[in-house]
Amino acid sequence: MRNIAIVWALMLACAGLFILCDSLSAHWGKTGNARSLVAFIVLSPLSYFVFAFINRRMDLAVAGALVNTLIVIGAVAVGVLVFEEQLSSLQYVGIGLALASVTLLNLS
């Protein structure tokens, strides 16, 4: 059980790093803020290192699907909450399906 908790903590940290990198690059793209670009350049390799560490404990197919789904959900949340973007009802259905996919991927 402890191993599962560690893997999930790593997955959430990895997805969080990628979401932060996405947000920093979006901020740099919208504002030209050099600090955002520098932070993105520093954090990107760390994100991939954590993902590689996860793959030492899980298969790539499952780890990739879980982390990438979490990244999508997180990026949508940042877009809506931070950048005040609007989503359609159909897009919210897609987010619900993404959450369902995370649940199904964990039923092994």
Return the half-sphere exposure (C-beta side, CA atoms, 13 A cut-off) of residue 45.
Answer: 3
pLDDT of residue 44: 94
pTM of the predicted model over 0.85: no
What pLDDT, in 10s, does the model give residues 88-100?
A: 999 999 989 988 8
Domain ranges of the chain: 2-105
Neighbours of 26 (CB within 10 A): 17
Work out the average pLDDT over 7-17: 92
What pLDDT, in 10s, does the model give residues 46-76?
A: 999 999 999 888 888 888 888 988 898 898 9
pLDDT of residue 1: 58
pLDDT of residue 8: 86
pLDDT of residue 31: 93
DSSP 8-state assignment for residue 59: -
pLDDT of residue 103: 82
What pLDDT, in 10s, does the model give residues 19-44?
A: 999 999 999 999 999 999 999 999 99
